[in-house]
Structure 1
Amino acid sequence: MLRQAVADADLGDGEWMDDALVAISEIVTNALVHAGTPIVLTIRVDDAGVRVEVADGSPHPPRPRGYAVTAGTGRGLSLVEELVRAWGSKPAEPGKVVWFELGTTSAAEAAEAAEAAEASVSSGFSVDADPPELDLVDVVLLQVPLLTHAAWQEHAASLLREYLLAQLDDEGDDVSLFAAHAAAGDAMSVLFEQIPAPDLGDDPEAIMASATEPAVTEERLVLRIPTSAADSFRRLDEVLESAAALSDEGSWLTVPTQPELRELRRWLCNQVRAQAAGADPEAWQVPEHLPPPTAPPLDWDPSEITDSARAVVAADDSDRIVAISASALELLGYDDAASLIGQRLLSIIPWRFHQAHLAGFTMHLTNGRSLLLDRPVTVPVLRQDGVEQLVDVTIRSIRMPHGRHLFTAEIERRH
């Protein structure tokens, strides 16, 4: 249908046809997945080029997200940005219009586009006007874990997309599936737009120096939530609860949800719904005795780790320790490997680094982030006696059969 619409617009035989088709496909898919409303496609062609507009019923403008090239989601708008001369979004009742332009332009138009791009959130993206006023309620979030939230956003986006595809395979073209998915996406957009993500840069040492408590926790945030979006948070909680249960079975591409991320989602959704109904805010805190993440055992030979003369710890993609060498046991102050096997890596990581570990671990498995892999990084580890030991650690990610991962950490004591 999209190909026929582009063909009917008579774009000629040049590269515009292919570029327009790809860009339209990405933006229409984005509207279907995130808006879940009727969509209106408009294509205008003149001597200078082509302008395409896609209207949907969601008020949230699309935002490019800097996911890695290995990501299964979040890269469509980056592709659009590469293909088109300019693109943007403008409010339009009852939602918005996302537009892009291909082709040549006059000098005056080029200057105007450059000025708009300079003030925009992305090099080729512009928001054309202020959104319409909404009936809003203040939601106060206390002790917000910013890094954990950023990782949750990436993981939840992947989980939602795979859940929608699985439902479409099972139930066909049921439009209610898109509506439920769009309501969940609407709630995520509200949080994404208002909860800041720490900018840690790309330097590994700088990341380890800055990605620690209390710098990655915001003591108090006030969100302005549309009253009409309160029910979307109920949908988000329900949909992700169901999706996480299916992902935990191990048959999806999206890795199982770390328990802290699951609890954060429950807390966020509960705070919005409760405060919209007049309740007082309750601060975030990691619940005690969280159940460990679940994953099938890896099919591998641990002897390469257990027989190593070096201090090496191995963990699976659920964050559980699966093997450890004698040298690593001695460095960490343990007498018996059974005391650590099956425990989470968090058990040997000081608390102030927990958010950094959860975020890095989740973002790597979800979207391929690998800034701290395959290079030595100086960090403290937590010994059994509670004493911290400064070490140089080199982490490697090894692909296993059936899409699984094994992580090894080679540890060298710093004197």
Structure 2
Amino acid sequence: MTDPSRDRSQELRRLRPHPSSVAEARHAVRAALRTSLPDPDLLDTAELCVSELVTNAVVHAGTEIDVAVVLYDGGARVEVLDRSAHLPVPRHYVSLASTGRGLLMVDQLCTRWGVSSRVNSKTVWFEVGGVSDLPDHDPTPMSGSSLLPIVPVVLRRVPLLLHAAWQIHAESLLREILLVRLDEESLSGLEEHASASAAIALMEQQIRRPDLGQAPEEVMAGAVEPLVSADEIVLEVPPGSVRHFAVLNRLLEDAAEMADSGSLLTPPIQPEIRDFRRWICQEVARQAAGDAPVTWDPSVRRGPPASAPPLRWDASVVQQSAEAVIAADDSGTVVAVSHAAATALGYPDPAALVGGRLIDVIPERFRQAHLAGVTLHLFAGRGPLIDTPVTVPALCADGHEVLVEVLVRSRALSHDRRLFTAHLTPA
């Protein structure tokens, strides 16, 4: 925090890691600034920005939070300190992200903002009004931080696009299960959420995200193997953070089961997405224990299968269609196929495809893009290929590929489920 010897510095209060602390910080900052910043717009900005920073600290750090205000001629700096060393990441990749835009809002509203980092804590600050002569960052270096031990976790054949999509899904699940488990009597839900968020933040800082753009032609050109995978990434995990991955894996396993049963608003997810989470969390635990790396293999199932309830819809619309149509649910399971579609792909009967995976008719080099695309559509609203005809190869029953024009449509059903239909015509 700011040097308390400054006569214009006010250490407002220490807050507990609880949602009620957001309102408490907001009221405290308004009270501290009311006389020195009479402009109501600046007061509103300070309230909004401190709400965002304290919310981030509550959700992602899960530690005690200190809030301070530094007054200077023409403005004020508000500082929020938590006991987590993981730095906040403002997300400019809006095309892939559904969360994390709060810091972009802070950036747009305040005069300037920044982060002061220590070994076991950080301070995120912002200024409203005029620019101060206070330093942009903490002049005290992170003593010995470069000498801190790490566990090097070697990740091989990392599916970058799948990781980006999984992370958005994971954050959605974590937010919802936090609301389910949090109550006024216990903070264990927040503490576990903070541990899981710390693991996600560590991966976000070290695993790059591919930028596919929004235009269909850009997506089709850039979303194929090997462009969307990394041969090897060494994830540097502090020893104390190894347990965060175990918490993340357990929380998301529980949340996925709740989503499958319909107990959450978050819809079921494709099994490959949850297998990716199991793989990366298991790799951290295994390699921390001294085991050799295991390469990512999307064909390996790493846990119990999903058990999402069947969709409630009229399958005869597809089954009786004279067009070549394949329908799949939001977990990627084929739920209906027309005779024309089965014939076009070399299958003697539509039943040979129903109940299987939609990726079985997608060439392997496009499968990661398909899995990520469905996930990003469900959780970030991204859909550059929805309702847009594209020419792609389809995989036939005998293993050969045939070019088809595909028109994918997405339909919302009851109980927050979604149906996808692919309409095929010869290219």
Bucket of the pairwise TM-score, normalised by the shorter protein: 0.7 to 0.9
2:31 alignment partner AA: D
Query: Counterpart of 1:215?
Result: 227
1:159 alignment partner AA: L
2:177 alignment partner AA: Y
Distance in 2 between the 1:194 and 1:93 partners? 18
CA distance 1:3–1:196, change in 2 (3 Å): closer
Which blocks of at least 5 consecutive residues in structure 2 are unaligned?
A: 1-23
Shift of 1:50: 2.6
Which residue of 156, 160, 163 maps to 1:142?
156
CA distance 1:183–1:292, change in 2 (3 Å): closer
Where in structure 2 are the equivalents of 1:123-138 lying within 5 Å?
132-133=145-146, 134-138=148-152
1:57 alignment partner AA: R
CA distance 1:72–1:206, change in 2 (3 Å): closer
Partner SS, residue 398 of structure 1: strand
Query: Counterpart of 2:171?
Result: 157
Shift of 1:308: 3.1
Quote the sequence identity (%): 48
| Structure 1 vs Structure 2 CA RMSD | 2.6
TM-score (norm 1): 0.88
- Considering Cα pairs closer than 8 Å and 6+ residues apart, tell me whether 1 or 2 has the greater RCO: 1
CA contact (8 A) 2:112 2:128 kept: yes
Shift of 1:25: 1.4
Which residue of 382, 388, 393 maps to 2:395?
382
CA distance 1:307–1:128, change in 2 (3 Å): farther
Question: Is the counterpart of residue 2 in structure 1 residue 25 in structure 2?
Answer: yes
CA contact (8 A) 1:67 1:367 kept: no
TM-score (norm 2): 0.85
Shift of 1:70: 11
Distance in 2 between the 1:140 and 1:373 partners? 36
Distance in 2 between the 1:395 and 1:102 partners? 47
CA contact (8 A) 1:147 1:355 kept: yes
Where in structure 2 are the equivalents of 1:292-307 lying within 5 Å?
293-307=306-320
Query: Counterpart of 1:65?
Result: 91
CA offsets 1:368-392 (integer angstroms, 9 cap, x no match):
1112212112211111121111112
Distance in 2 between the 1:70 and 1:278 partners? 35
Distance in 2 between the 1:129 and 1:65 partners? 27
Partner SS, residue 15 of structure 1: helix
Query: Counterpart of 1:122?
Result: none
Where in structure 2 are the equivalents of 1:223-302 lying within 5 Å?
223-288=235-300, 293-302=306-315
CA distance 1:317–1:177, change in 2 (3 Å): same
Distance in 2 between the 1:72 and 1:336 partners? 40
CA distance 1:165–1:129, change in 2 (3 Å): farther
Partner SS, residue 379 of structure 1: strand
CA contact (8 A) 2:52 2:103 kept: yes
Partner SS, residue 394 of structure 1: strand
1:38 alignment partner AA: E
2:398 alignment partner AA: D
Distance in 1 between the 2:339 and 2:300 partners? 30
Which residue of 66, 77, 97 maps to 1:40?
66
1:12 alignment partner AA: P
Q: Bigger shift: 337-346 or 280-289?
A: 280-289
Q: Bigger shift: 369-378 or 198-207?
A: 198-207
Distance in 2 between the 1:128 and 1:298 partners? 58
Where in structure 2 are the equivalents of 1:6-405 lying within 5 Å?
6-9=29-32, 10=34, 11-66=37-92, 73-92=99-118, 94-105=120-131, 132-133=145-146, 134-168=148-182, 171-288=183-300, 293-405=306-418
2:244 alignment partner AA: S
Distance in 2 between the 1:184 and 1:58 partners? 13
Which blocks of at least 5 consecutive residues in structure 1 are unaligned?
A: 117-125
Shift of 1:257: 3.2
Partner SS, residue 98 of structure 1: strand
2:28 alignment partner AA: A
Shift of 1:72: 6.2
CA contact (8 A) 1:68 1:369 kept: no
CA distance 1:350–1:359, change in 2 (3 Å): same
Distance in 2 between the 1:101 and 1:130 partners? 22
CA distance 1:367–1:227, change in 2 (3 Å): same
CA distance 1:358–1:129, change in 2 (3 Å): farther
CA contact (8 A) 2:79 2:123 kept: yes
Partner SS, residue 210 of structure 2: coil
CA contact (8 A) 1:88 1:128 kept: no
Query: Counterpart of 2:6?
Result: none
CA contact (8 A) 2:405 2:426 kept: yes
Distance in 1 between the 2:384 and 2:113 partners? 30
CA offsets 1:112-149 (integer angstroms, 9 cap, x no match):
99xx8xxxxxxxxx998875332222221112121111
CA offsets 1:377-413 (integer angstroms, 9 cap, x no match):
2211111121111112121212222222121222221
Distance in 2 between the 1:149 and 1:239 partners? 18
